Amino acid sequence: MLHLVFQSPIELAILQRVKPDDVVVFLENSVLRILKQGALQPVLLPLIQTNRLCVMSDDIVVRGISVDELVLGIDVIDFDELVALTIQNAVIQSWT
């Protein structure tokens, strides 16, 4: 399953619904919540072990966030990679 997270702040219930091998993409203002110094780091680190977590490159650039500010292990992807993920995952859940 592909989870598209737009919500900010991100409710913990959303991250608790992510099953192993699901892919999560953080978009728009949700990228503000996936920083190394953020409160969600303890929740995100275990997810990175079983899931692919991604962030759109355009969304971090627009918000002035550098890659090294993100929780270690989050992949930075572009629009083409997002399209590929939507093709690879038959089920897509948007969280707004």
pLDDT tens track for 3-55: 999 999 999 999 999 999 999 999 999 999 999 999 999 999 999 999 999 99
CA distance 59 to 48: 20
The dihedral formed by the CA atoms of 52, 53, 58 and 59, expressed in degrees to the nearest 10: 160
What is the DSSP code (8-state) at residue 20? T
Confidence (pTM): 0.95
Give me the CATH number covering residue 39. 3.40.1260.10
Task: Determine contact, residues 53/44, Cβ cutoff 8 Å.
Answer: yes
Q: Are strands 2-5 and 75-77 parallel, antiparallel or unpaired?
A: unpaired
Domain span at residue 46 reads 2-95
The total of structural domains in the chain comes to 1
